[in-house]
Structure 1
Amino acid sequence: MKNFALVGAAGYIAPRHMKAIKETGNHLSVAYDINDSVGIIDSISPDSQFFTDFEHFYQYAWQLKRDAKKALDYVSICTPNYMHASQIAAGLRLGCDVICEKPLVPNSQDLDELKKVEEETGRKVYNILQLRHHQAILELKDKVATTSSDNKHEVELTYITSRGRWYHTSWKGDPRKSFGVATNIGVHFFDMLHFIFGRLERNVLHYSDDMKASGYLEYEKARVRWFLSVDADDLPDSVAGKQTTFRTINCDGDELEFSGGFTDLHTVSYQEILAGRGYGIEDARHCVETVEHIRTQLPQPAEENEAHPMLSALNGN
């Protein structure tokens, strides 16, 4: 049984980490969040310590090191994106391996710094890249790997996840904290595309605002037109009013709708990490560099056959 700390215990994704800790037979020893709406901890580990300021949490975690049975083994991080780099480093310096939500960090410079902290502490960082464990994605990866063709696959990626007015008031709507739509909701999809189709060769942004983004990516094995949105008005008529999220990949005319199948992927991710097969800094580098480039370029007019079908509506055509 390993001892875990959870940083960001009141967040949306935290219950999946709590569930994963419990289902892998481990112990949530201590949790931290500036907000105290964390009653869900009682269903996982009611004897867990809880702190609402990071300094007291860190002091408590440091003191646990003096008792081999109570010392923390892992720190799991579910906080807003802009906090990840500093909190990962803090977890490593506590002598723990660190499991962090996506995006691991916003840029490659932070990745390089964390590698240095890994070397200094002898501990390791793991990123939750849950789509690499999704059965439909694994099947598509196998299909692509076994298909022999001189032509690249033609792919459309569409991800629409409806968000209300609260979104733009929260940190997620602040690009200084979330790093924008493409990073906040898209980074693990860009990881998925790299996982399936290989090295990225071209990255062009066609549109970006506070609620949606669209562009073109060319990989070793695929030409990808992508569209990401948090606007419910973008949901297709086939799902509008029935579900709030729509995820689909169309590969060479075959549609892979993968809105389901996400329930247990965090537990699977934890199982893989605990077995020594987790995804580390270098595994995350490709998607971090992809979104970093998207954030730092200006939108360009789409070349022929490179525009996502929804792009024309964004441009008012």
Structure 2
Amino acid sequence: MNFALIGAAGYIAPRHMQAIKETGHTLVAAYDINDSVGIIDSISTECAFFTEFESFMEHAWRLRRQKGAGIDYWVVCSPNHLHGAHITAGLYLGCNVICEKPLVSTPAQLEELRCVEQETGRRVYSIMQLRHHSAIHELRDKVLAERREGRYDVELTYVTVRGPWYLASWKGDPRKSFGVLAEIGIHFFDMLHVVFGSLESQVLHYHDDHKAAGYLEYEKARVRWFLSIDAEDLPERRVAQHTTYRSIVCDGEEFEFSDGFTDLHTVSYREILAGRGFGIEAVRHCLETVHELSLDTPKVPHERQAHPCLSRLVSVTSRGAGHD
């Protein structure tokens, strides 16, 4: 099948290109406003490339009129605030769409995409590669096997260090990235729902450009969570060798999944192409969670609901003053 990709110069695009190649398909067209895309040659030296969206779209329509040359899958790796428009363009072009998370920023925008799906008869799939991680499978299987009546006590910690470039890029602009809750957190809210069931309540304890923390109560778990892009939040045992730390502690048992992320896009592609991709309804819950948290005002946490990393954030009390 033929694939086209938007956002070819971005950080995540090479993983999509490699997934297209490893699943035996062809990247025929790519677009980015930046031209640092030499990596395309390692995937295909025949791929057409454009730095203007209008020229890219014109080429896509031209391919559609050629027998056997039309684009089957439209891949969106552009900045988050452009996802909705780029997904819609692909659907109306007659393509199925694979998009990086988050699909869009609000439930209303998600509903609009659902309507476009119905109008075009095409599908949108979100890349939620954490669902394919072996450590998450292990945790999910543990919960299913134990069938316990009460809730698990869970502590989720995700620290992925970003340098000064991050805040200078679109990722550091909440109008474009929708903030750290969406940019680095949405995978984990998705995973928690998959493992522990429906979300019943949520509280935000802290939120700024670098980190966020709060408490979530699911059908089967009470979750204290913390997200950060600051190196100072890495555990001491990780500082010397790693810039990423992903951990879930469930009733005192740790499931660390700092490694094993790099090949999960290919797994995601295989699942999508086999008809087992994660569509709009599959990811609605985590988008709604991020949206509600982004609208919330931080509150002073109850002791049992506070993530341990909150103790280092002096301003959490002042931010939560005046709220229950």
**Residue identity in the other structure for 2:8:** A
For 2:265 and 2:59, how far apart are their aligned partners in 1? 27
Higher helix share: 2
> Deviations 1:34-58 (Å, cap 9, x if unpaired)?
0000000000011100000111101
Q: Give the counterpart letter for 1:97 in structure 2.
A: N
Q: Which residue of 2 aligns with 1:21?
A: 20
In the alignment, the residues of structure 2 paired with residue 141 and residue 315 of structure 1 have an alpha-carbon distance, to the nearest angstrom, of 35
Provide the residue aligned with 1:62 in structure 2: 61
Q: Does 1:188 align with 2:187?
A: yes
Deviation at 1:139, TM superposition (A): 1.4
1:75 and 2:97 are equivalent in the alignment: no
**Identity among equivalent pairs (%):** 63
Residue identity in the other structure for 1:182 = L
Tell me how far 1:150 sits from its aligned partner. Answer: 2.2
* Other-structure match for 1:167: 166
Aligned amino acid, residue 103 of structure 1: P
Report what 2:127 is aligned to: 128
C-alpha distance in 1 between matches for 2:52 and 2:188: 33
- Give the match's secondary structure for 1:238: helix
How far did 1:315 drift? 2.8
1:44 corresponding residue in structure 2: 43
Query: How is 1:91-130 mapped onto 2 (pairs within 5 angstroms)?
Result: 91-130=90-129
Residue by residue, what CA displacement relative to the aligned partner does 1:164-189 show, whole Å, maximum 9, x if unpaired? 11111100100100111111100011
* Residue 304 of structure 1, CA deviation: 3.0
State the secondary structure of the residue aligned to 2:262: coil
Runs (4+) of structure 1 exceeding 6 A deviation are none
Spell out the pairing of 1:233-248 with structure 2 (5 A cutoff): 233-248=232-247
Post-superposition offset of 1:257: 0.8
SS in 1 for 2:255: strand
Write the distance in 1 (CA, Å) between the matches of 2:286 and 2:104: 10
| Mapped pair 1:282 → 2:284 | no
Distance in 1, Cα, partners of 2:118 & 2:150? 42
What is the distance in 2 between the residues matched to 1:41 and 1:122?
Answer: 30
Aligned counterparts of 1:74 and 1:169: Cα–Cα separation in 2: 31
Q: Deviations over 1:254-293 (max 9, x none)?
A: 0111011112110000000000110000011000000000
What is the total number of aligned residue pairs between the two structures?
316
Looking at structure 2, the residues matched to 109 and 54 of structure 1 have their Cα atoms a distance apart, in angstroms, of: 25
Identify which range, 32-41 or 60-69, moves more after superposition.
Answer: 60-69
* Deviation at residue 313 of structure 1 after TM alignment: 1.0
Gaps of 5+ in 2: 318-324
Secondary structure of 1:288's counterpart equals helix
Partner of 1:148: 147
1:260 and 1:68 map into 2 onto residues whose CA distance is 43
Structure 1 runs not aligned, ≥5 long: none
**Separation of aligned partners in 2, 1:20 and 1:122:** 25
